[in-house]
Amino acid sequence: MARWLGLFLLAGSAVAYSLAGFFTRLIPLDAVTLLFWRGLFAGLFILLVVWLRYRRQAWPMIRAIGWPGFGIAVMGSLSSYIYLSSLRLTTVADVAVIYATLPFVTAALAWVALREREGWRVLVGSLAALAGIALMAGGAFRSGHLLGDTLAFAMTLTYAAMIVLIRRGRHVSMMPAVGIQCLVSALAAAPFARLGPVESLPLLQLLLFGTCQLGLGLMLLSLGMRRVPATQAALISLLDTPLAPLWVWLAFGETPPVATLVGGTVIMAAVCWTIIGSPRPSVLPAAAEAGDA
pLDDT in tens, 138-153: 655 555 567 877 888 8
Cβ atoms < 10 Å from Cβ of 175: 24
Question: Is residue 174 a contact partner of residue 227, using CB atoms and an 8 Å limit?
Answer: no
State the Cα–Cα distance between residues 40 and 43, nearest whole angstrom: 5
Q: Which of 3, 71, 202 is nearest to 210 (CA)?
A: 202
Cα-based distances in Å from 249 to 49, 195, 253: 32, 31, 5
Whole-angstrom Cα Rg for the chain: 18
Q: Provide mean pLDDT across the span 235-250.
A: 84
Coil, strand or helix at 226: coil
pLDDT score for 9: 93
Q: Are 111 and 216 in contact (CB under 8 A)?
A: no
pLDDT tens column, 45-67: 999 999 998 888 888 888 888 88
83 or 292, which is more confident? 83
Q: Is the pLDDT of residue 269 over 70?
A: yes
Positive or negative CA dihedral for 203, 205, 207, 209? Answer: negative
Instruction: Write down the pTM of the prediction.
Output: 0.80
DSSP letter for each residue of 108-175: HHHHHHH-EE--HHHHHHHHHHHHHHHHHHTT---TT-HHHHHHHHHHHHHHHHHHHHHHHTTTS--H
Which helix (H) or strand (E) segment holds residue 74: the answer is helix 66-89
